Chains A and B, each alone.
Chain A
C-alpha cells in the first residue's frame, strides 16, 4: 500500500515536472507575444481614452473645472481663476507648461500660444495679483471666454472621448451635444472608407490574377513548377521600397508603359498612371500577390486530379466540372488568401506614400503622422482603435460567411 502511494507521488511529481518543462518551453513565445503584441495594443486602447496630461500639470484647475463643466450654467468662479493663474505660474517656472499648452491646443485654436504667452507674463510677476480674473483677461481676453473654460474642463480627465470622437469626425459643442466637425476638417471617416475601398480592390485583383497562376504552379511538372515558384517568390526577396520605386519608373509619364502606349498609337499624350489611385492599386497588387498565390497553391496541390477526371468521364461539361467539382475544393485556400491579403492591405503605409497622390493616403499614414510628426498620441491611438475595430468587424462578418473552419493557410 505504502509503495503504491509513493509511486503515485512520484508519478505526480514527474507529471508536474513535465508540465513545468512545457511551460518553460512556451514561455519565451508567450513573453514575446505579451511584450510585442498584447501590451502595445492595450497601451494603444488606453491612450485613446486616458486624458491625464492637463490634470498632472494643472491639478487644481483640473479638479475645479471638471466639476464646473458638468452643468456649466454659471460663469467660471473666482476660485477657478485663482487656481488657473497659480497653476500657470508654477508650471511656467517648472517648465512643465508646454504639456498643458499642447493638450489645450488640440481643442482650442491658438491654444498653445495663449498658454505659453500667459506663462511668460505670469512668470515675471513677483507677487500674486489681487484679482486673478482681471490679470488673466488683461494678458489675453480669451481667458474670459466660455469656450476656453469648456476646453479646459473637457481636457481635465481622467477619461475622455475627445480622441475617439475626432476619429469619427465628431466633436462636442458648447452645450455638450455630440455634433459633426466642420466639413473642412471632417477627414477620418473618408480616409477609413478609402482604406477599405483600396484593400477590397487589391484583394479582388490579386484573387483574379493569382488564381490561374496558382493553378498553373500546382499542376505543372515538377521542374517547371519549381521555376514558376521562384518567379512567384522573387518579389519576396526584393525590398518593398525597391519594388514600389520600380513602379514609378515603369508608370511615370515618360515611363515604359506610357512610351509603349504612345508608340502603339493607343494614346497621343501620356496617361496618368502613377501618383494617383491607379498607381497605388497596381503597386499594392504586385506586392501582395504572393500572399494570395501561396495558400491557394497549397490547397490546389492537395486536390486529387481524379475528381475532375471522374466528373468529365461522367459527362459533365468542362466548365460545369470546374465550377461544381474543382472550385469548391479550392475554397479553403481562396478564403485564406483573401483574408491574408485584405488584412495586410488595410495597414499599408509605404507603398501608398511612395506611389499615391495626396488623396490616396491610407489610415496608417495618418497614424504615423500623429505618432512621429506631431506627437498627438491620443489621436494616433484613436485612429488605431478605429482601424482595429473595423478589421475585427469585417473579420467576424467574413468568418460567418465563409466559416473559419474553411480557412487553410498552408
Chain B
C-alpha cells in the first residue's frame, strides 16, 4: 500500500512538472480576449472562425474589463496566457501609459491609412465605434427632437428625460445644448467656467431627469413610458427596434462616440500570430460583415462601401451620423473623473 501511494504521488508530481514545462515551452495557440455575450458570438462568426481557416490556431476568451485585470496579467513580465485583448478607450490610454501593450507596427496590419483617424493609437488599433445618442419614443413625440437643445426644451417636448448617472457624457451634452459646437466641447470643459456652465444648464431640467445606471435601463425607461427621451447606447436602441419592434428613434446630431481597440500585451509570446490576426480583422471585407449582427461601426475606411446601405444608416460610422459628433476624451475623464463625480453628486444633493 505504502509503495503504491508513493508511486502514484511520484507519477502525479512528474506529470505536473511535465505539463508545466510543456506549457512553458510549447507554442500555445494565439489567445484573443473580448467582451463575451452576443458581441463575441458575432465576432466568432465573422472573425475568429474564418481566421482559423487560414491555418493559425486561435482560442478566444472573454473578460469584463478593468485596467487592474490587465495590470495583473502583465505583472512580472512573463506570459500569462493572453495575447490580443479588446479594451475600452480608457484602458487603452492607462495601459499605454503604464507600458502594458506593444506599440503598434502599422506596416504589419495594412498601414495607418487603412483605418479611421480615431482608430489610430500608439498602443492599439480601433475595432468598433459605439455611441451615446439621443433616443426618443416616436409614439409619444409628434415631432422628432433635432438635437440636445430640444432635449432641454421641456416646453416644446413635455415629459421626463433620462440621462446616465454621473458627470461623464452629461457635461458634454449640457454644453452642446447650450450652444457649444461639438468640436469645442472639451476646450470649454477644460475651464472652470465651462464646468459651471454645464451644471447651470443641467439645472434647467434637474427635476425632469431620471438617472439610468446600466445600458439596459435606457430602452426600458423609454418602453415603460417613464421618459419620452433619453441618452442611450446606440446598440441598445437598435436592438430594441429590431428585436422587440419598439418604435424608437435615434437623433445622431451631437452624438458622443468612442472606440474599443485591439491591443497586444507586451508579455505575448505570439506576436507574429497576433499581427496576422489584427491584419485579418482589419480588412474591409471582414469588418463589413460585423454590423449585420450588431449595430457597431467598424474602423476600416473602405468597409462602409461593402455594407448594405439600408444597414449603414443605423451605424455610428455613416457619414451623416458621425458628421456632427464628438469623440469622448479619455485624457479629460481619466484626469477629472474623481473631481467631477464629487461635484456632480454635490450638485445632485442640492435642491
Which residues from chain A sit less than 8 Å from chain B, CB to CB? 95-99, 101, 105-106, 109-113, 116, 183-187, 190-191, 194, 249, 252-254, 275, 353-354, 357-359, 361, 366, 369-370, 372-376, 379
Contacts and interface: CB of A to CB of B under 8 A. Distances in A.
Interface in B302-351: 331, 334-335, 337-339, 341-349
A185 B347 CA distance: 9
Chain A binding surface SS class? helix
Given A98-B94, A186-B346, A358-B344, 4 more contacts: A95-B98, A184-B342, A185-B339, A275-B211
B345 A191 contact: yes
Contact of B346 (A113, A184, A376): A184
Contacts of A185: 339, 342-343, 346
Nearest to B331: A113
Contacts of A116: 97
A358 B162 CA distance: 12
B337 A373 contact: yes
A253 B226 contact: yes
B68 A375 contact: yes
A375 B97 CA distance: 15
B98 A253 contact: no
A190 B67 contact: no
B346 A187 contact: yes
B211 A374 contact: no
B99 interface: yes
B187 to A, nearest CB: 14
B225 interface: yes
B224 interface: yes
Given A95-B99, A358-B348, A359-B348, A112 B334 contact: yes
B165 interface: yes
B161 to A, nearest CB: 12
Of B331, B337, B338, which is in contact with the most chain A CB atoms at under 10 Å from its CB? Answer: B338
Nearest to A357: B211
B213 interface: yes
A42 B339 CA distance: 27
A358 B345 contact: yes
Contact of A252 (B226, B344, B348): B226
Q: Which bracket fits the contact residues of B? A: 20 to 34
Chain A to chain B: the 9 pairs with minimum beta-carbon distance, closest first:
A95-B99, A358-B348, A98-B97, A359-B348, A112-B335, A254-B225, A185-B342, A98-B98, A359-B349
9 contacts: A105-B335, A105-B338, A113-B335, A184-B346, A253-B225, A357-B211, A358-B345, A359-B345, A373-B337
Given A185-B339, A374-B337, A254 B224 contact: yes
Contacts of A249: 224
Contacts of B160: 253
Contacts of A106: 338
Of A106, A361, A370, which is in contact with the most chain B CB atoms at under 10 Å from its CB? Answer: A361
B117 interface: no
Contacts of A95: 97-99
A97 B94 CA distance: 11
B23 interface: no
B224 A252 contact: yes
Contacts of A110: 335
Of B94, B160, B226, which is in contact with the most chain A CB atoms at under 10 Å from its CB? Answer: B226
Of A110, A354, A358, which is in contact with the most chain B CB atoms at under 10 Å from its CB? Answer: A358
A354 B211 CA distance: 10
Contacts of B224: 249, 252, 254
Interface in B87-113: 94, 97-99
B180 interface: no
Given A184-B346, A185-B346, A375-B68, A369 B341 contact: yes
A98 B99 CA distance: 9
Nearest to B97: A98
A373 B349 CA distance: 21
Nearest to A255: B224
A184 B67 CA distance: 29
B177 to A, nearest CB: 18
Nearest to A114: B335
Nearest to B68: A375
B69 to A, nearest CB: 11
B240 interface: no
Interface string B215-235: 000000000111000000000
Of B225, B334, B343, B345, which is in contact with the most chain A CB atoms at under 10 Å from its CB? Answer: B345
A353 B166 CA distance: 12
Contacts of A184: 342-343, 346-347
A240 to B, nearest CB: 15
B230 to A, nearest CB: 13
A186 to B, nearest CB: 7
B36 interface: no
Given A101-B97, A184-B346, A185-B343, A374 B331 contact: no
Contacts of B331: 113
B81 to A, nearest CB: 22
B348 A357 contact: yes
Interface in B73-132: 94, 97-99
A13 B67 CA distance: 56
A353 to B, nearest CB: 6
A190 B66 CA distance: 29
Contacts of A373: 337
B107 to A, nearest CB: 23
Nearest to A194: B349
Of A99, A252, A366, which is in contact with the most chain B CB atoms at under 10 Å from its CB? Answer: A252
Contacts of B345: 187, 191, 358-359, 361, 366
B97 A358 contact: no
Contacts of A353: 213
Contacts of A101: 97
Contacts of A379: 338
A376 B334 contact: no
A394 to B, nearest CB: 22
B339 A358 contact: no
A110 B160 CA distance: 36
Nearest to B159: A253
Contact of A354 (B68, B213, B347, B348): B213
B70 interface: no
Interface in B144-160: 160
Contacts of B211: 275, 357-358
